[in-house]
A and B are shown apart, each in its own frame.
Chain A
Amino acid sequence: MALTETIGSATINGLAYIGGLARLAGGSVRTIFIEPIRGKKFHLSRAVHQAMAVGVEALPIVSLISFFIGTILALNAAYELRKFGALQVVASAVAISVTRELGPLMTAVVVIGRSGSAFAAEIGTMKVNEEIDALETMALEPVDFLVAPKFLAMLLMVPCLTTWADFMGVLGGGVFGVSAAGFTWGSYIRATLDALQSRDIVTGLIKAAMFGLVITAVGCQEGFSTGLGSEQVGRSTTSAVVKSIFMVVVVDLIFTAIFYLTAPR
Chain B
Amino acid sequence: MAPSPPAKGDQSQAPAGAAVAVRNLRVNYGAREILHGINFEVPAGETLVIMGGSGSGKSTLLRTLVGLEKPSGGEIWMRGKNFAAMSEEDRDELRKKMGMSFQGGALFGSMTVGENVALPLQEHTKLDESTIEIMIRLKLDQVGLSGFENYMPAQLSGGMKKRAAIARALSMDPEILFFDEPSAGLDPIIAAGIDDLILKLKKAFRITIVVVTHELASAFLIADRMILLDKGVIVANGTTKELQESTQPRVRQFLDRIPEPELTGEIDYLQMLTGDIPPIRQ
Contact = CB atoms under 8 A, between A and B. Distances in A.
Contacts of A9: none
Interface in B87-105: 91-93, 95-96, 98, 100, 102-104
Given A125-B109, A138-B95, A139-B92, A133 B124 contact: no
Interface in B61-117: 63, 66-68, 91-93, 95-96, 98, 100, 102-104, 106-110
Given A129-B106, A133-B106, A140 B123 contact: yes
B100 A137 contact: yes
A140 B106 CA distance: 14
Interface in A89-115: none
A138 B172 CA distance: 9
Interface in A116-149: 122, 125-126, 129-131, 133-134, 136-140
Contact of A137 (B67, B93, B103): B67
B119 A138 contact: yes
A131 B98 contact: no
Nearest to B96: A139
A181 to B, nearest CB: 50
Interface string B219-259: 00000000000000000000000000000000000000000
B120 interface: yes
Interface in B263-282: none
A3 B4 CA distance: 56
Contacts of B104: 129-130
A136 B168 CA distance: 14
A131 B109 contact: yes
Contacts of A131: 106-109
A118 to B, nearest CB: 12
A133 B109 CA distance: 14
Contacts of B63: 133
Interface of B: 63, 66-68, 91-93, 95-96, 98, 100, 102-104, 106-110, 119-120, 123-124, 168, 172, 178
Interface of A: 122, 125-126, 129-131, 133-134, 136-140
Given A126-B109, A136-B67, A139-B91, 12 more contacts: A129-B106, A129-B109, A130-B102, A131-B107, A133-B68, A133-B106, A134-B108, A137-B100, A138-B120, A138-B123, A139-B96, A140-B119
When A and B form their complex, which 6 residue pairs have the shortest distance between CB atoms, in order from nearest? A139-B92, A134-B106, A139-B95, A130-B106, A137-B100, A130-B102
7 contacts: A129-B104, A133-B68, A134-B102, A134-B106, A136-B95, A138-B120, A138-B123
